[in-house]
Structure 1
Amino acid sequence: MRFDSALGLESRRGVGATTAKVAVYAVMVLVFTGPLLGLLISAFSKTLDPTAFSLWPEELTLQNFVQAGEKNVYLYLLNSFAVVGFGLLLQMIVSVFAAYSLARKKFRGMSVVLLLILTTMMLPEEVIAIPLSIVLADLPLIHTNLIGTYAGMILPVGAWGFSILVMTEFMKDVPVELEEAARIDGAGELRTFFTIILPLCRPALGVIGVFGFTMIWDQYLLPLIVATESSQWTLPIALRSLRSDEEVGIGVLLAASLLALLPSIIAFLAFQRQFMRGLTSGAIKG
């Protein structure tokens, strides 16, 4: 639904209606892009006053990013990329195979499995923080300590209930006749999955890719539990440390904040087409 239709401006003509539309759009642009533009300008400006947050640059400089490098911000950024890269890859692999099992296989206790997956989405991170730290300190069966390792930050995000449920509902709507036709032609189950089902689920992959990237990128409590040295910090933890450091100026903090924000925007733009197709498909099916 268009905003001018919702406000009753679409059917109106004349100077007054045009002015009202321009005013509404201007307010929307200011509200949604104002903070981002202010952050972008301030990160490249010499900001001496912590209360100054201007939308117009006075003197552009890269000094904030140089000082951010001196505070190891780029190391923390690299750590975040490593965790997100491997974590998202693992999460998408687990999601597509788990969704295929739930959407195509019939087994006893399927409702219980779905209920357990849904339950994991209802538990806040603070509730499972202590049990998670205990499990990571002594991984069951293999008795391995993952505290202080990157694997300890990656494995817990390898399965996410939201991604599994999205993929499951999308795969349920893939026509079974396509699989039957592929099997008649001699295709095995794995070949049918990779050549028939998975390509049709590309919009859903875009949705879980964007949401999964954002979820892992914004992780704060998990790296805080696992990291034992500052060299293992991810960017969200580093931002908290920079904020509490009295020697760090507001410009450095804004530069680090911009570095933390840009990857999420880039990820959305990269998956934008599949993301919007996935949301539209879900709305039509619903």
Structure 2
Amino acid sequence: MRFDSALGLESRRGPAATAAKVVLYAAMVLVFTGPLLGLLVSAFGRTLDPTAFSLWPDDFTLDNFVLAKDQNVYLYLLNSFVVVGFGLLLQMLVSVFAAYALARKRFRGMTFVMLLMLATMMLPEEIIAIPLSLVLADLPVLHLDLIGTYAGMILPVGAWGFSILVMTEFMKEVPVELEEAARIDGAGEFRIFATIIVPLCRPALGVIGVFGFTMIWDQYLLPLIVSTDSTTWTLPVALRSLRSNEEVGIGVLLAASLLALLPSIIAFLAFQRQFMRGLTSGAVKG
């Protein structure tokens, strides 16, 4: 729904209505892009006051990003990319295969499985923090200690109820007739899954890709539990340390914050077409 339609401005004509629309859109741009623009400008300037807003840095410099290297910011950024890269890949694989089983197969206890996934989405991270740390310290069956490793930060995000539910609901909308025609032509189960089901679910993959990337990238409690020293910190954890360190200037903190923000924006822009198709596909079906 358009904002001007919701406010009754779409049906109005004349200079007053045009001025109201301009003011409305300008306010929206200021609210949503103002903080980002302020962060961008401050990160490239020698400002001592992060609340001082400007459209262009008074003294443009890259010193903040150079000094960030001395604080190991780029190491933390690399750690974040490693975790989000392997974590998102694992999460999307698990979501696709689990959704295929839930959407196309019928088995006893399927309703219970769906309720269990919904229950995991309702539990705050703080509640499962201690049990999760105990499990990661002694992985059942394998008896592996994943504390202090990348695997300890990747495996827990490998399955996310939200992504599985989104993929399940989208796969239910794929016509069964396509599978039946493929089986008549001699296609096997995996071939049907890989060449028919998955390509038709690209919009849903864009949705879970954007949300999954943001969820993993913004993880704070999990890396804090797993990390045993600063060399395995991710950028969100490092930002808290930089903020509490009085020796670190505000410019370095702003530069690190900008580096933490940009990947989420880039991920959204990369998946934007599939993301928007995935969000609107449910509105045009049926």
User: TM-score, normalization: structure 1?
Assistant: 0.98
> What's 1:17 paired with?
17
Distance 1:270 1:144 in 2: 37
Aligned to 1:174: 174
Q: Which residue of 1 aligns with 2:52?
A: 52
State the partner residue of 1:262: 262
Pair 1:250 & 2:256 matched:
no
Matched residue pairs, number? 286
Question: Which ranges of structure 2 fall in alignment gaps of 5 or more residues?
Answer: none
What are the Cα deviations for residues 36-95 of structure 1, in whole angstroms up to 9, with x where unaligned? Answer: 001000000111235434333211100010111110000000000000000000000000
Question: How far off is 1:207 after superposition?
Answer: 0.3
1:282 aligned partner:
282
Structure 2 Cα separation of the partners of residues 233 and 130 of structure 1 = 19
| Structure 2 CA distance for aligned equivalents of residues 273 and 122 of structure 1 | 29
Cα distance in structure 2, aligned partners of 1:162 and 1:207:
10
Q: Is 1:109 aligned to 2:109, yes or no? A: yes
- Structure 2 distance, partners of 1:156, 1:48, is 39
Counterparts of 1:52 and 1:10, CA distance in 2: 37
**Partners of 2:148 and 2:229 within 8 A in 1:** yes
Aligned pairs (5 A) from 1:211-230: 211-230=211-230
Does the residue aligned with 1:120 lie in a helix, a strand or coil?
helix
- Whole-angstrom CA distance in 2 between matches of 1:8 and 1:176: 43
CA distance in 2, matches of 1:50, 1:204: 39
Unaligned runs of 5+ in 1: none
Contact 2:42 2:50 in 1 (8 A): no
Partner-residue secondary structure (3-state), 1:22? helix
- Report the CA distance shift for 1:243/1:53 in structure 2 as closer, same or farther (over 3 A): farther
- Residue in structure 1 matched with residue 87 of structure 2 by the alignment: 87
Mapped partners of 1:70, 1:10: distance in 2: 54
Report the Cα distance in structure 1 between the residues aligned to 2:204 and 2:221, rounded to whole angstroms: 28
1:167-193 deviation line (CA, Å, top 9, x unaligned): 001101111100000011111000000
* Counterparts of 1:156 and 1:256, CA distance in 2: 26
How many Å apart are 1:259 and its aligned residue? Answer: 0.2
Alignment correspondent of 2:123? 123
Q: SS of the residue aligned with 1:36? A: helix
Query: Which runs of structure 2 are paired with 1:25-104 in the superposition (5 Å)?
Result: 25-104=25-104
Give how far 1:285 is off: 4.3
Q: Secondary structure at the match of 1:255?
A: helix
Code of the aligned partner of 1:5:
S
100-109 vs 53-62, which moves further: 53-62
> Deviation digits for residues 89-144 of structure 1, max 9, x if unmatched?
00000000000000111100001111111100000000000000000000000100
Matched residues, percent identical?
85
**Aligned mates of 2:53, 2:228 — CA distance in 1:** 35
Match of 1:188 in 2: 188
Deviates further, 7-16 or 63-72: 7-16
Tell me the equivalent position of 2:201: 201
SS of 1:144's equivalent? coil
* Cα distance in 1, alignment partners of residues 21 and 50 from structure 2: 36
How far does residue 229 in structure 1 lie from its aligned partner after superposition?
Answer: 1.1
Residue 139 of structure 1 aligns with which residue?
Answer: 139
Q: From the superposition, tell whether residues 280 and 69 of structure 1 become closer, same or farther in structure 2 (CA, over 3 Å).
A: same
Q: Which amino acid aligns with 2:150?
A: Y
- Change in Cα spacing, 1:247 to 1:53, as seen in structure 2 (3 Å) is farther
**Structure 2 CA distance for aligned equivalents of residues 257 and 48 of structure 1:** 16
Distance in 2 separating the partners of 1:12 and 1:127 = 52
SS in 2 for 1:45: coil
Query: Separation in 2 of the partners of 1:235 and 1:54?
Result: 26
Normalising to structure 2: TM-score of the pair? 0.98
Cα deviation for residue 7 of structure 1 reads 1.5
SS of 1:148's partner is coil
Q: Within 2, Cα distance between the matches of 1:186 and 1:46?
A: 67
Counterpart contact for 2:4–2:21, Cα < 8 Å: yes
Question: Structure 1, residues 134-173: CA drift from partner, whole Å, max 9, x if none?
Answer: 0000000010000011000000000000000000011011
Q: CA RMSD in A?
A: 1.1
In structure 2, what is the Cα distance between the partners aligned to 1:28 and 1:188? 52
